[in-house]
Amino acid sequence: MESKRVQDAVVEVRHLVQKFGKRVVLDDVSFTIGRGEILGLLGPSGSGKTTLVKTIAAVGEYVGGEVLVLGRKMPDYGTIARIGYMAQADALYHDLTGYDNLVFFAELFGVKGAKRKQRIGELLELVQLSEHAKRPVQTYSGGMKRRLSLAVALLHEPEILILDEPTVGIDPVLRKDFWREFLRLKEQGVSILITTHVMDEAEQCDRLGLIREGKLIALGTPARLKEETGTATIEEAFLRYGGVQA
Protein backbone atom coordinates (compact mmCIF):
# COMPACT_ATOMS: atom_id res chain seq x y z
CA MET A 1 0.00 0.00 0.00
CA GLU A 2 1.06 3.54 -0.73
CA SER A 3 1.02 6.09 2.09
CA LYS A 4 2.01 9.70 2.69
CA ARG A 5 4.67 10.49 5.24
CA VAL A 6 3.10 11.04 8.64
CA GLN A 7 4.82 14.41 9.06
CA ASP A 8 2.82 15.69 6.05
CA ALA A 9 -0.49 14.49 7.50
CA VAL A 10 -3.37 16.62 8.77
CA VAL A 11 -5.43 13.47 9.45
CA GLU A 12 -3.95 10.28 10.89
CA VAL A 13 -6.05 7.16 11.34
CA ARG A 14 -4.16 4.52 13.33
CA HIS A 15 -5.35 0.91 13.60
CA LEU A 16 -8.98 2.01 13.91
CA VAL A 17 -11.51 -0.58 15.09
CA GLN A 18 -15.25 -0.14 15.49
CA LYS A 19 -17.87 -2.70 16.41
CA PHE A 20 -21.65 -2.69 16.53
CA GLY A 21 -22.41 -5.44 19.00
CA LYS A 22 -20.29 -8.38 17.92
CA ARG A 23 -20.05 -7.23 14.31
CA VAL A 24 -16.74 -5.62 13.34
CA VAL A 25 -17.50 -2.59 11.15
CA LEU A 26 -13.95 -1.19 10.88
CA ASP A 27 -11.11 -3.67 11.10
CA ASP A 28 -7.62 -2.23 11.83
CA VAL A 29 -7.90 0.70 9.39
CA SER A 30 -4.86 2.98 9.05
CA PHE A 31 -4.15 5.84 6.62
CA THR A 32 -3.20 9.51 6.51
CA ILE A 33 -4.43 12.55 4.60
CA GLY A 34 -1.98 15.26 3.58
CA ARG A 35 -2.56 19.00 3.45
CA GLY A 36 -4.16 19.98 0.17
CA GLU A 37 -4.95 16.37 -0.71
CA ILE A 38 -8.22 14.83 -1.89
CA LEU A 39 -8.54 11.30 -0.55
CA GLY A 40 -11.48 9.29 -1.85
CA LEU A 41 -13.06 6.30 -0.17
CA LEU A 42 -14.63 3.78 -2.50
CA GLY A 43 -16.60 0.73 -1.48
CA PRO A 44 -20.04 -0.89 -1.60
CA SER A 45 -22.87 0.00 0.75
CA GLY A 46 -22.23 -1.46 4.18
CA SER A 47 -18.46 -1.56 3.73
CA GLY A 48 -17.80 0.89 6.58
CA LYS A 49 -17.22 4.15 4.68
CA THR A 50 -19.84 6.20 6.53
CA THR A 51 -18.78 4.83 9.92
CA LEU A 52 -15.20 5.77 9.09
CA VAL A 53 -15.91 9.37 8.06
CA LYS A 54 -18.20 9.88 11.06
CA THR A 55 -15.40 8.73 13.34
CA ILE A 56 -12.92 11.18 11.81
CA ALA A 57 -15.48 14.01 12.07
CA ALA A 58 -15.99 13.09 15.77
CA VAL A 59 -19.63 12.18 15.14
CA GLY A 60 -19.03 8.48 15.77
CA GLU A 61 -17.08 6.60 18.43
CA TYR A 62 -14.53 3.81 18.13
CA VAL A 63 -13.41 0.94 20.34
CA GLY A 64 -9.77 0.63 19.26
CA GLY A 65 -6.97 2.64 17.68
CA GLU A 66 -6.99 6.42 17.43
CA VAL A 67 -7.75 9.34 15.15
CA LEU A 68 -5.63 12.50 15.10
CA VAL A 69 -6.74 15.62 13.23
CA LEU A 70 -4.32 18.55 12.97
CA GLY A 71 -2.21 16.83 15.60
CA ARG A 72 -4.99 16.51 18.19
CA LYS A 73 -6.58 13.27 19.28
CA MET A 74 -10.27 13.20 18.42
CA PRO A 75 -12.76 14.06 19.68
CA ASP A 76 -11.37 17.53 20.38
CA TYR A 77 -13.81 20.47 20.40
CA GLY A 78 -11.38 23.07 19.10
CA THR A 79 -10.40 20.84 16.21
CA ILE A 80 -14.00 19.96 15.33
CA ALA A 81 -14.57 23.68 14.62
CA ARG A 82 -11.91 23.48 11.88
CA ILE A 83 -13.71 20.67 10.04
CA GLY A 84 -16.53 20.99 7.53
CA TYR A 85 -18.69 17.86 7.60
CA MET A 86 -21.40 16.94 5.12
CA ALA A 87 -23.22 13.82 6.27
CA GLN A 88 -25.00 11.33 4.04
CA ALA A 89 -28.28 12.30 5.73
CA ASP A 90 -29.01 16.02 5.46
CA ALA A 91 -28.92 17.72 8.89
CA LEU A 92 -31.12 20.71 8.08
CA TYR A 93 -34.03 22.52 9.75
CA HIS A 94 -36.92 21.86 7.40
CA ASP A 95 -39.22 24.51 8.86
CA LEU A 96 -36.65 27.23 8.14
CA THR A 97 -35.84 28.67 4.74
CA GLY A 98 -32.59 27.78 3.04
CA TYR A 99 -31.26 31.25 3.85
CA ASP A 100 -32.24 31.01 7.52
CA ASN A 101 -30.54 27.62 7.78
CA LEU A 102 -27.33 29.24 6.59
CA VAL A 103 -27.76 32.13 9.03
CA PHE A 104 -28.28 29.68 11.89
CA PHE A 105 -25.19 27.62 11.07
CA ALA A 106 -23.13 30.76 10.43
CA GLU A 107 -23.92 31.88 13.98
CA LEU A 108 -23.00 28.44 15.25
CA PHE A 109 -19.65 28.62 13.45
CA GLY A 110 -19.00 32.21 14.58
CA VAL A 111 -19.34 33.77 11.12
CA LYS A 112 -20.90 37.18 11.73
CA GLY A 113 -21.67 40.60 10.28
CA ALA A 114 -20.71 41.58 6.75
CA LYS A 115 -18.60 38.45 6.38
CA ARG A 116 -21.64 36.27 7.07
CA LYS A 117 -23.77 38.05 4.47
CA GLN A 118 -21.00 37.84 1.87
CA ARG A 119 -20.28 34.20 2.58
CA ILE A 120 -23.94 33.14 2.40
CA GLY A 121 -24.36 34.98 -0.91
CA GLU A 122 -21.28 33.29 -2.37
CA LEU A 123 -22.38 29.84 -1.31
CA LEU A 124 -25.97 30.20 -2.47
CA GLU A 125 -24.59 31.10 -5.88
CA LEU A 126 -22.15 28.20 -5.83
CA VAL A 127 -24.87 25.63 -5.08
CA GLN A 128 -27.36 27.39 -7.36
CA LEU A 129 -29.95 28.08 -4.68
CA SER A 130 -30.06 31.89 -4.79
CA GLU A 131 -33.54 31.88 -6.33
CA HIS A 132 -34.80 29.37 -3.77
CA ALA A 133 -33.17 30.82 -0.65
CA LYS A 134 -36.42 32.15 0.84
CA ARG A 135 -38.32 28.87 0.44
CA PRO A 136 -38.78 26.51 3.41
CA VAL A 137 -36.38 23.57 3.17
CA GLN A 138 -39.36 21.21 3.48
CA THR A 139 -40.29 22.23 -0.08
CA TYR A 140 -36.82 21.38 -1.45
CA SER A 141 -36.09 18.31 -3.55
CA GLY A 142 -33.53 15.80 -2.33
CA GLY A 143 -30.90 17.27 -4.63
CA MET A 144 -31.56 20.80 -3.37
CA LYS A 145 -31.11 19.62 0.22
CA ARG A 146 -27.76 18.08 -0.73
CA ARG A 147 -26.71 21.38 -2.27
CA LEU A 148 -27.71 23.31 0.86
CA SER A 149 -25.87 20.79 3.05
CA LEU A 150 -22.68 21.41 1.08
CA ALA A 151 -23.11 25.16 1.56
CA VAL A 152 -23.41 24.59 5.32
CA ALA A 153 -20.22 22.51 5.36
CA LEU A 154 -18.31 25.26 3.55
CA LEU A 155 -19.67 28.22 5.56
CA HIS A 156 -16.78 28.64 8.00
CA GLU A 157 -14.04 28.01 5.43
CA PRO A 158 -12.77 24.85 7.14
CA GLU A 159 -9.25 23.49 6.82
CA ILE A 160 -10.57 19.95 6.38
CA LEU A 161 -13.68 18.89 4.47
CA ILE A 162 -15.31 15.53 5.14
CA LEU A 163 -17.96 14.78 2.53
CA ASP A 164 -20.10 11.63 2.59
CA GLU A 165 -21.59 11.04 -0.88
CA PRO A 166 -21.90 14.80 -1.57
CA THR A 167 -23.12 14.50 -5.16
CA VAL A 168 -25.94 11.96 -4.69
CA GLY A 169 -29.04 13.34 -6.40
CA ILE A 170 -27.09 16.15 -8.10
CA ASP A 171 -27.38 16.65 -11.86
CA PRO A 172 -24.19 16.06 -13.90
CA VAL A 173 -23.60 19.74 -14.74
CA LEU A 174 -23.79 20.86 -11.09
CA ARG A 175 -21.69 17.86 -10.08
CA LYS A 176 -18.91 19.23 -12.29
CA ASP A 177 -19.30 22.64 -10.63
CA PHE A 178 -18.94 21.00 -7.22
CA TRP A 179 -15.76 19.26 -8.29
CA ARG A 180 -14.32 22.48 -9.70
CA GLU A 181 -14.86 23.97 -6.23
CA PHE A 182 -13.28 20.94 -4.51
CA LEU A 183 -10.22 21.23 -6.74
CA ARG A 184 -10.02 24.98 -6.10
CA LEU A 185 -10.15 24.39 -2.34
CA LYS A 186 -7.45 21.75 -2.68
CA GLU A 187 -5.19 24.30 -4.38
CA GLN A 188 -5.75 26.58 -1.37
CA GLY A 189 -4.48 23.85 0.95
CA VAL A 190 -7.81 22.42 2.12
CA SER A 191 -7.69 18.66 2.75
CA ILE A 192 -10.74 16.74 1.54
CA LEU A 193 -11.99 13.26 2.46
CA ILE A 194 -14.81 12.17 0.19
CA THR A 195 -16.85 8.99 -0.19
CA THR A 196 -18.29 8.25 -3.60
CA HIS A 197 -19.78 5.57 -5.80
CA VAL A 198 -19.12 7.59 -8.99
CA MET A 199 -16.10 6.27 -10.88
CA ASP A 200 -15.21 9.48 -12.70
CA GLU A 201 -15.17 11.25 -9.32
CA ALA A 202 -12.86 8.57 -7.97
CA GLU A 203 -10.46 9.29 -10.83
CA GLN A 204 -10.21 12.94 -9.73
CA CYS A 205 -8.97 12.06 -6.23
CA ASP A 206 -5.25 12.28 -5.48
CA ARG A 207 -5.46 8.91 -3.73
CA LEU A 208 -8.14 6.31 -3.26
CA GLY A 209 -8.79 3.98 -0.36
CA LEU A 210 -10.71 0.87 -1.36
CA ILE A 211 -12.84 -0.51 1.49
CA ARG A 212 -14.45 -3.91 1.68
CA GLU A 213 -16.11 -5.46 4.76
CA GLY A 214 -14.52 -2.92 7.08
CA LYS A 215 -10.99 -3.43 5.79
CA LEU A 216 -8.87 -1.01 3.77
CA ILE A 217 -7.85 -3.42 1.03
CA ALA A 218 -5.86 -0.95 -1.10
CA LEU A 219 -4.59 2.64 -0.98
CA GLY A 220 -2.88 4.61 -3.73
CA THR A 221 -3.31 6.94 -6.67
CA PRO A 222 -5.95 5.88 -9.20
CA ALA A 223 -3.19 5.28 -11.75
CA ARG A 224 -1.17 3.17 -9.32
CA LEU A 225 -4.16 1.02 -8.33
CA LYS A 226 -4.93 0.29 -11.98
CA GLU A 227 -1.28 -0.39 -12.76
CA GLU A 228 -0.88 -2.81 -9.85
CA THR A 229 -3.93 -4.81 -10.92
CA GLY A 230 -3.36 -4.57 -14.66
CA THR A 231 -6.84 -3.10 -15.15
CA ALA A 232 -8.22 -0.24 -17.22
CA THR A 233 -10.74 1.19 -14.74
CA ILE A 234 -11.01 1.80 -11.00
CA GLU A 235 -14.09 -0.42 -10.88
CA GLU A 236 -12.10 -3.32 -12.33
CA ALA A 237 -9.23 -2.59 -9.93
CA PHE A 238 -11.59 -2.70 -6.96
CA LEU A 239 -12.97 -6.07 -8.06
CA ARG A 240 -9.46 -7.43 -8.55
CA TYR A 241 -8.33 -6.30 -5.07
CA GLY A 242 -11.46 -7.93 -3.69
CA GLY A 243 -10.52 -11.22 -5.27
CA VAL A 244 -13.04 -11.04 -8.13
CA GLN A 245 -11.83 -11.50 -11.69
CA ALA A 246 -12.57 -8.19 -13.49
Q: Could you report the per-residue pLDDT of 184-203, keeping only the tens digit for each? A: 999 999 999 999 888 889 99
**Residues in Cβ contact with 226 at an 8 Å cutoff, skipping those fewer than 6 apart:** 232, 233, 234, 236, 237
Q: How many residues are given for the chain? A: 246
- Quick one: average pLDDT of 96-119? 96
What pLDDT was estimated at residue 99?
98
Compare 1 and 128 and report the one with higher pLDDT: 128
- Quick one: average pLDDT of 37-49? 93
- Quick one: average pLDDT of 11-33? 96
Q: Please give the CATH superfamily to which domain 1-82+161-245 belongs.
A: P-loop containing nucleotide triphosphate hydrolases (3.40.50.300)
pTM of the model: 0.92
What pLDDT was estimated at residue 5?
45
What pLDDT was estimated at residue 244?
61
- Alpha carbons within 13 angstroms on the beta-carbon side of residue 233 total 8
| Alpha-carbon gap, residue 166 to 181, rounded angstroms | 12
Residue type, 120: I
What pLDDT was estimated at residue 7?
53
Note the pLDDT tens digit of each residue in 150-173: 999 999 999 999 999 999 888 899
What pLDDT was estimated at residue 156?
96
- Quick one: average pLDDT of 99-127? 96
Q: Where are the beta strands (DSSP E) in the chain?
A: 9-20, 23-34, 38-42, 64-69, 72-73, 83-86, 160-164, 191-196, 207-212, 215-220
- Positive or negative CA dihedral for 67, 72, 76, 80? negative
Is the model's pLDDT at 41 over the cut of 70?
Answer: yes
Confidence of residue 101 (pLDDT cuts 50, 70, 90): very high
Confidence of residue 60 (pLDDT cuts 50, 70, 90): confident
Q: Using CB atoms within 10 A of its CB, is residue 139 exposed (0-12), middle (13-18) or buried (19+)? A: exposed
Note the pLDDT tens digit of each residue in 135-153: 999 999 999 999 999 999 9
**Residues in Cβ contact with 37 at an 8 Å cutoff, skipping those fewer than 6 apart:** 4, 186, 191, 192, 206, 207
Domain with CATH 3.40.50.300 in the chain: 1-82+161-245
Q: Are 49 and 41 in contact (CB under 8 A)?
A: yes
